[in-house]
């Protein structure tokens, strides 16, 4: 019996989004998943977004997992800042530090997944056109006012001072109070804006191949998502964040040389019958293969000799034949759709069971089981034909 195999589809998932607004500042976030044979337990997206803003300027201050984006928005004072002002009448920062859900949609199938994001840091430089009075601030802007936290950098001169503050989850307002007045002649403004962020991405092993797209919008201005108070007004009122996530799954099956030709025999070979008269109970062969998989896949059969009950073999004139039962056992790390290990799961032409990796499986051994049961074994032996053959194609399909 000749065994053929088909492996369909290099699984590729791309999560990307693009939506523009006439009054929106657009930024992009891109991430990638590729299974790593050297680290199969690490099954997460890798952020591929170029660092901008704070982390772009000071990468040494950004530990692993900290990412920042430049924000193409400028804030400018529309009124003078009075000495000992109320919170909203001077420099204040309230950013969207709480988690937001972003719906991402598959381009072709419409399947949905969720990305979560929050802002965890804010940075900028305040700029003026002449030196401020001495002691206008109680502390330098390198020191973050609570609930914000020290960001690790601060520098400038009498006309420009850059700062970055970390922002805890669900933080409120972080504000500075001027001790002396800053009238409009100083042209007080924020430039070189940027923010850092955290992402929680879906489990790529459970996502379909293809492209997912999503957009998250943040409003800007007094009382909005990015709120800098009533005096500092932005030159744009919306940040549109376009998400692009790529997943390139691996799906590969390797059958050893000669493994495509399967010979069914009794246990112990034919000599137990020919030499000792011990009638075979069944004919079978277990064929091993190596599988690499990071995505869902299905398996089914195509039959060269198609009997009503399944795939089969027959003699040369087709008068005698038998059904060959085919099942599969998969390595640890691959389960059925109910989460159970796969041990001798029957395969057929009509049903395509779904298998799911819990981790990236890299060149792990599985087994195809071919068997003719006792009823058909008796029939074949009694017919006394010497040769039976048939083709069975096993299809591994990652396009689920």
CATH number of the domain at 343, please.
2.60.40.2040
Q: Are residues 189 and 323 in the same domain?
A: no
pLDDT of residue 370 exceeding 70, the answer is: yes
Q: Are residues 16 and 53 in the same domain?
A: yes
Q: Are residues 239 and 356 in the same domain?
A: no
pLDDT at 384: 66
Q: Which residue has the higher pLDDT, 228 or 1?
A: 228
pLDDT at 18: 24
pLDDT at 308: 84
Average pLDDT, the chain: 87
Q: Which residue has the higher pLDDT, 208 or 19?
A: 208
Which residue range forms the structural domain that includes residue 330?
251-397
pLDDT of residue 344 exceeding 80, the answer is: yes
Question: How would you class 97 by CB atoms within 10 Å of its CB: exposed for 0-12, middle for 13-18, buried for 19 or more?
Answer: buried
Q: Which residues pair with 132 in a beta bridge?
A: none
pLDDT at 329: 98
339: left (phi over 0), alpha (psi -120 to 50) or beta: left
User: Is the residue at 91 inside a domain?
Assistant: yes
**What token pair was written down for 42?**
């690490």
pLDDT at 275: 59
pLDDT of residue 23 exceeding 70, the answer is: no
> How many other CB atoms sit within 10 Å of the CB of residue 140?
10
Q: What is the mean pLDDT of residues 313-321?
A: 80
User: Is the residue at 374 inside a domain?
Assistant: yes
User: Is the residue at 1 inside a domain?
Assistant: no
Nearest to 258 by CA among 295, 229, 285: 285
DSSP collapsed to 3 states, the chain: CEEEEEEECCCEEEECCCCCCCCEEEEEEEEEECCCCCCCCCCCCEECCCCCHHHHHCHHHCCCCCEEEECCCCEEECCCECCCCCHHHCCEEECCCCCEEEEEEECCCCCEEEEEEEEEEEEEEEECCCCCCCCCCCCCCCCCCCCCEEEEEEEEECCEEEEEEECCCCCCCEECCCCCCECHHHCCEEEEEEEEEEEECCCHHHCCCEEEEEEEEEEECCCCCEECCCCEEECCCEEEEEEEEEEECCEEEECCCCCCECCCECCCCCHHHHCCCCCCCCEEEEEEEEEEECCCEEEEEEECCEECCEEEEECCCCCCEEECEEEEECCCCEEECCCCECCCEECCCCCCCEEEECCCEEEEEEEEEEEECHHHHHHHHHHCCCCCECEEEEEEECCC
Task: Write down the residue that tokens 């972003």 correspond to.
Answer: 102
**For residue 315, what pLDDT band results from cuts at 50, 70 and 90?**
confident
**For residue 154, what pLDDT band results from cuts at 50, 70 and 90?**
confident
Least confident residue range of 247-256, 279-288, 309-318, 368-377 = 309-318
Q: Are residues 302 and 352 in the same domain?
A: yes
Last residue of a domain, one of 205, 227, 248: 248
Please count the structural domains in the chain. 2
Last residue of a domain, one of 248, 269, 299: 248
**For residue 1, what pLDDT band results from cuts at 50, 70 and 90?**
low
**pTM (whole model) above 0.85:** no
Any idea how long the chain is? 400
pLDDT digits (tens, 9 = 90+) for 247-306: 888 889 999 998 889 999 888 777 767 656 677 888 999 999 999 999 999 999 999 998
pLDDT digits (tens, 9 = 90+) for 182-232: 999 999 999 999 999 999 999 998 888 778 889 999 999 999 999 999 999
Q: What is the mean pLDDT of residues 82-97?
A: 96
pLDDT of residue 103 exceeding 50, the answer is: yes
Q: Are residues 206 and 147 in the same domain?
A: yes
Nearest to 108 by CA among 211, 247, 249, 246: 211
Q: Are residues 260 and 190 in the same domain?
A: no
Q: Are residues 205 and 262 in the same domain?
A: no
pLDDT at 20: 33
Q: Which residue has the higher pLDDT, 387 or 182?
A: 182
Which residues does 32 contact at the CB level (< 8 Å), separation at least 6?
A: 45, 46, 48, 245, 246, 247, 248
Q: Are residues 235 and 195 in the same domain?
A: yes
pLDDT of residue 15 exceeding 60, the answer is: no
Q: Are residues 216 and 244 in the same domain?
A: yes
User: Is the residue at 303 inside a domain?
Assistant: yes
Q: What is the mean pLDDT of residues 307-325?
A: 86
Q: Which residue has the higher pLDDT, 53 or 335?
A: 335
Nearest to 254 by CA among 208, 205, 302, 288: 288
pLDDT at 377: 85
Q: What is the mean pLDDT of residues 343-372?
A: 94
Last residue of a domain, one of 232, 248, 264: 248
pLDDT of residue 13 exceeding 50, the answer is: no
pLDDT of residue 6 exceeding 80, the answer is: no
Q: Are residues 385 and 292 in the same domain?
A: yes
pLDDT at 5: 46
Which residues does 166 contact at the CB level (< 8 Å), separation at least 6?
A: 120, 121, 144, 148, 149, 150, 151, 196
Q: Are residues 115 and 182 in the same domain?
A: yes
**What token pair was written down for 365?**
């051994």
């Amino acid at each position: 019996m000749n065994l053929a195999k088909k492996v369909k589809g290099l699984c590729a998932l791309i999560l990307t989004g693009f939506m523009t607004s006439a009054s929106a500042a657009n930024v992009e976030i891109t991430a990638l998943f590729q299974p790593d044979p050297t680290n199969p337990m690490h099954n997460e997206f890798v952020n591929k977004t170029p660092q901008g803003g704070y982390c772009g300027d000071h990468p040494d201050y950004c530990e692993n997992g900290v990412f920042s984006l430049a924000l193409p928005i400028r804030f400018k004072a529309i009124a003078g800042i009075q000495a000992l002002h109320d919170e909203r009448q001077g420099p204040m920062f309230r950013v969207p530090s709480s988690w937001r859900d972003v719906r991402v949609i598959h381009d072709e199938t419409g399947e949905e997944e969720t990305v979560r994001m929050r802002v965890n840091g804010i940075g900028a430089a305040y700029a003026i056109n002449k030196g401020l009075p001495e002691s206008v601030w109680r502390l330098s802007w390198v020191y973050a006012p609570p609930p914000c936290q020290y960001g690790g950098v601060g520098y400038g001169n009498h006309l420009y001072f850059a700062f970055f503050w970390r922002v805890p989850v669900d933080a409120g307002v972080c504000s500075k109070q001027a001790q002396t007045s800053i009238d409009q002649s100083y042209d007080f403004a924020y430039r070189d804006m940027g923010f850092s962020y955290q992402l929680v991405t879906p489990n790529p092993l459970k996502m379909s191949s293809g492209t997912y797209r999503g957009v998250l919008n943040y409003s800007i201005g007094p009382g909005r998502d990015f709120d800098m108070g009533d005096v500092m007004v932005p030159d744009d009122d919306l940040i549109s964040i376009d998400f692009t996530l790529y997943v390139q799954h691996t799906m590969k099956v390797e059958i050893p040389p000669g493994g495509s030709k399967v010979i069914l025999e009794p246990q112990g070979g034919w000599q137990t019958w020919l030499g000792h008269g011990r009638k075979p109970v069944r004919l079978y062969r277990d064929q091993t293969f190596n599988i690499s998989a990071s995505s869902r896949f299905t398996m089914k059969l195509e039959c060269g000799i198609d009997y009503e009950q399944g795939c089969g073999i027959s003699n040369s004139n087709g008068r005698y034949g038998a059904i060959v039962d085919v099942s599969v056992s998969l390595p640890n790390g691959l389960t059925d759709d109910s989460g159970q290990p796969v041990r001798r799961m029957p395969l057929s032409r009509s049903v395509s069971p779904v298998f799911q990796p819990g981790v990236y499986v890299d060149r792990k051994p599985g087994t195809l089981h071919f068997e003719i049961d006792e009823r058909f074994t008796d029939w074949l032996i009694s017919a006394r034909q010497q040769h039976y053959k048939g083709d069975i194609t096993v299809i591994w399909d990652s396009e689920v």
